[in-house]
Amino acid sequence: MQGRISFGTDGWRSRLDEGFTAENVRRVAFAIAEHILESGSPGRGVFIGYDGRAQSKDFAGECARVLASKGIASYIPPGPVPTPVAAFSAVRYSLSGSIMITASHNPPEYNGIKFIPDYGGPALPDVTSGIERHIPPQPPEIPQGESKGLISEIDPYEDYLRHLLGLIKGDLSGLRIVADPMHGATSGFASRIFAQMGATVEAVRDTVDPRFGGVVPDPTPENLSGLRSRVIASGSDLGVAFDGDGDRLTAVTRDGTFLSVNQLLPLVYLHLMERRSMVGDAARTVATSHLVDRVADDHGQKVVEVPVGFKYIGVLLREHAVVIGGEESGGMSFSSHIPEKDGIASAALLMEAVRSSGQGLGGLYQNLVSRYGRLSSARLDLRTSSEGDIMHLIEGEAASKGEILGRKVVGVNRKDGIKIVLEGGCWLLFRKSGTENVVRVYAESSNEALTALLLSYGKSLVLSFI
C-alpha cells in the first residue's frame, strides 16, 4: 500500500526523498485520467507542463504514458514552462485541461503536481476531491509501447506572446528593466517576452537550475538583494522577480524599494480604471491589504473578499464579476486574461502602467500613497502540533474581546480563519495552514509600529495555546 495522497490549497506536493516518486506520480496521473474520462472530454487531450526541478521532465513523461494508456492525448513542451503558460495552453488549444509538475516557491527538494481544468484556472474543491477519490492504492502498470501516437510536442511560447501583446496597450519601448527569474521556470522566457514587447531587458539568474542557485525560489526581499543592486546600479525603471513556477511577482523601484502584491494590486487596479477605462470591482483574499478597498471605494466600486486560495478569485474572474484580483502571497490576474495568477502577465501590465504614466514605478506608488495613505502589512508563521481546537481557542479568546491594544473591535470575519477588524482600519487575522501544522498570523495598520504590536499580540495569543 502506497502512502495517502491529498491535494492541498494548490495541488499535491511532497519531498523528492519521501513521497514524490514516479510511482506516486503515476497514481495521481491515473486519477486525473479517470476524472477526464468521467467528464466526457478525453478526446481533447491534456497539456503537460513542467518546471526545471530535478526529474520534473521525467515526471511529465510518466503522466503522459499513463494518460496514453487510457486513450488520452498529451502535449508536452520542449522545455520548462511557467505554470500560467500551462494554464493558458489549456484554453488556447481547447484541451480537457493541463497537468503541471512543479512545487512553485518551495525548496528544491520538493516537487508537486496539479491539475488545471479546461478554463485555465485553479481546480475547485469538487474537482480535486473527485481526483483524490480515483487515486489507486498502488501505481498502475503501464505496458511498454502503449503511447499509440498519443504523445506529441507543442511549444506554446509564440501563442502566449501574441496573447500578451493583445492584452497590453501599446508596447514597452523606452522602458529599461531588470528581470530576475530566480533560476526558475521563467528563466529565458520572461526576459525574452519583455524584450519582444519592446523593453530593454537585463536579466539576472536567468538560467534554469534545479537547485535555484542555492536560494529558495520565493521572491521575498531577503532573496532578492542582487536584483535590488542591479536595478539601482543600472538606473533601470524597475525590476521584477518571479517565483519558481512564475505565478508570483515582486517588483523593485528605481531607488530599491520592494513592492509586493499588497501594493501592486491597488496600483494596477488604479491604472486599469483611470488609464484603461476598465472600471469594475476587485477581489482579494482575507489576508491581502485593504489598500485596494480604498481605491475601489474612491471610484464607486467594491471589493469582494474571499478565502485564501486563488481558486476563489479565479471564479470571479471567470464570471467577469471583477476586473482584477490578487492575494498577499504574490499572485495576481485580471479580466481578459486567464483566471489564474500570472507573474509574467501582471509584470507586463505593471510595465504598461509605468510607461504610460511617465512617473516611474516609484512615482506611481507615491501617487497611490498620497491619495489613499500608506498601510503596513506583516505576517508571521508559527509551527504547532495542536491541530485540534487551537482555532476555536483563539476565537474564544480574541474574537470575544471588545478591544485589542486599546482599539475597539468593530467586526469579526470567519470566511477563512478568524479575522478581527479594529477601529481605524486595523485588522488581525489568525489562519491555520492547509498544508502544514502552522498557524499564520497577519496584521495590518496605518504604521509599522502598530502593525508590529498587533503581530506581537497575535503571536503571544497563539503561543499561549501551543
Mean predicted confidence (pLDDT) in 151-172? 96
Q: Which three cell numbers stand for residue 403?
A: 478591544
Mean predicted confidence (pLDDT) in 165-174? 93
Domain that holds residue 449: 376-463
3-state secondary structure of 17: coil
Q: Give the Cα-Cα-Cα angle 129, 38, 137 (nearest 5 degrees).
A: 55
Q: 238-247, 411-420, 430-439 — which is least confidently predicted?
A: 430-439
Q: How far is CA 13 from the centre of its chain?
A: 15
Distance CA 92, CA 120 (A): 9
Please choose, from the candidates 127, 151, 137, the residue with its C-alpha nearest in 3D space to the C-alpha of residue 35: 127
DSSP conformation class of 42: G
At 40, the pLDDT band (50, 70, 90 cuts) reads confident
Ranges of H-type helices in 15-156: 22-39, 56-69, 83-92, 125-134
At 1, the pLDDT band (50, 70, 90 cuts) reads very low
Q: Give the Cα-Cα-Cα angle 411, 10, 182 (nearest 5 degrees).
A: 105
Examine the domain organization and report whether 356 and 286 are in the same domain. yes
Examine the domain organization and report whether 139 and 165 are in the same domain. no
Distance CA 276, CA 335 (A): 12
Please report whether residue 245 resides in a domain: yes
- Report which of residues 193 and 358 the model is more confident about: 193
Instruction: Look up cell 513523461; give the residue.
Output: 61
- The last residue of one of the domains, among 135, 155, 175, is 155
The CATH number for 407's domain is 3.30.310.50
Please report whether residue 60 resides in a domain: yes
Please report whether residue 2 resides in a domain: no
Mean predicted confidence (pLDDT) in 306-335? 96
- The last residue of one of the domains, among 372, 403, 426, is 372
Mean predicted confidence (pLDDT) in 404-418? 92
Examine the domain organization and report whether 176 and 263 are in the same domain. yes
Examine the domain organization and report whether 197 and 342 are in the same domain. yes
Strands across the sheet containing 332-334: 303-306, 282-285, 324-326, 332-334
Tell me if 105 sits within 8 A of 248, measured CB to CB: yes
Examine the domain organization and report whether 265 and 333 are in the same domain. yes
Please report whether residue 354 resides in a domain: yes
Examine the domain organization and report whether 354 and 208 are in the same domain. yes
Examine the domain organization and report whether 51 and 170 are in the same domain. no
Please report whether residue 4 resides in a domain: no
Examine the domain organization and report whether 414 and 311 are in the same domain. no
Examine the domain organization and report whether 326 and 458 are in the same domain. no
Examine the domain organization and report whether 304 and 416 are in the same domain. no
The CATH number for 184's domain is 3.40.120.10
| pLDDT at residue 117 is higher than 60 | yes
- CB neighbours (10 Å) of residue 307? 16
Mean predicted confidence (pLDDT) in 403-424? 92
* Angle subtended by helix axes 343-357 and 261-275, to nearest 10: 60
Q: Which three cell numbers stand for residue 434?
A: 492547509
Distance CA 185, CA 228 (A): 21
Number of domains in the chain: 3
Please report whether residue 5 resides in a domain: no
Please report whether residue 135 resides in a domain: yes
pLDDT digits (tens, 9 = 90+) for 274-295: 999 999 999 999 999 999 999 9
Please report whether residue 434 resides in a domain: yes
Q: 7-21, 176-190, 288-302, 356-370 — which is least confidently predicted?
A: 7-21
Strands across the sheet containing 427-432: 376-383, 438-445, 427-432, 418-422, 407-413, 403-404
- The last residue of one of the domains, among 155, 181, 204, is 155
| pLDDT at residue 387 is higher than 60 | no
Examine the domain organization and report whether 353 and 389 are in the same domain. no
Mean predicted confidence (pLDDT) in 62-76? 96
pLDDT of residue 362: 95
Tell me if 53 sits within 8 A of 103, measured CB to CB: yes
DSSP conformation class of 6: -
| pLDDT at residue 435 is higher than 50 | yes
Examine the domain organization and report whether 204 and 333 are in the same domain. yes
Q: Give the Cα-Cα-Cα angle 350, 353, 355 (nearest 5 degrees).
A: 110
At 51, the pLDDT band (50, 70, 90 cuts) reads very high
| Type of residue at 446 | S
* Angle subtended by helix axes 157-167 and 83-92, to nearest 10: 90
| pLDDT at residue 316 is higher than 80 | yes
